[in-house]
Amino acid sequence: MAGSSRISRRDFVKVVTIALSSVMGAALGIPVIGYLIDPALKVQSSEAWIPLGPLENFPLGSPKSFSFTRSSVNGWEKTVNSYGGFILRKTETDLLALSSRCTHLSCSVNWDEGNNNYACPCHAAHFGSEGEVLDGPPPAPLDRYETKIEEGNLFIFFQKG
């Protein structure tokens, strides 16, 4: 037969080989690309309202600790940082949210119920219940978080400093 539209066996094998190679390349390449760009897709904002749960979990009068984590991405390196603080609930809706990070060299302070102050274990500093410096080397009071209450849940505003 003299049909010039027929393809040879060699051309058919070539076309099938290219098609299969393309499908296999896509099957292998798409997950690899997804893996490579995944960190960039999971970046957490440097600012966010952090939910701390129901307001009734924070009793009146005595500071209660909280903690949360935030991740940041530098290139393909992901870092997870921990943050913490204390909620002092003065009245039903009057709240004070303090960072637990000492303003001297960033050690974590602890609430000392007996002495009614925050104590920094690193250089024996103390902060009052409102975060003010009582003694020691810290140059500034404990940082404060902005707070809000929505539908009975407490949030603090995180800003990466």
Q: Using CB under 6 A, list all residues that contact ligand FES.
A: 102, 104-105, 107, 120, 122-123, 125, 136-138
| Rounded least distance, CB 138 to ligand FES, Å | 5
Handedness of CA 7, 9, 14, 19 (dihedral sign): positive
For the sheet containing 77-89, what is the strand order?
47-54, 153-159, 144-150, 95-99, 77-89, 64-74
| Rounded least distance, CB 47 to ligand FES, Å | 25
| Rounded least distance, CB 121 to ligand FES, Å | 8
Host H or E run for residue 17? helix 9-41
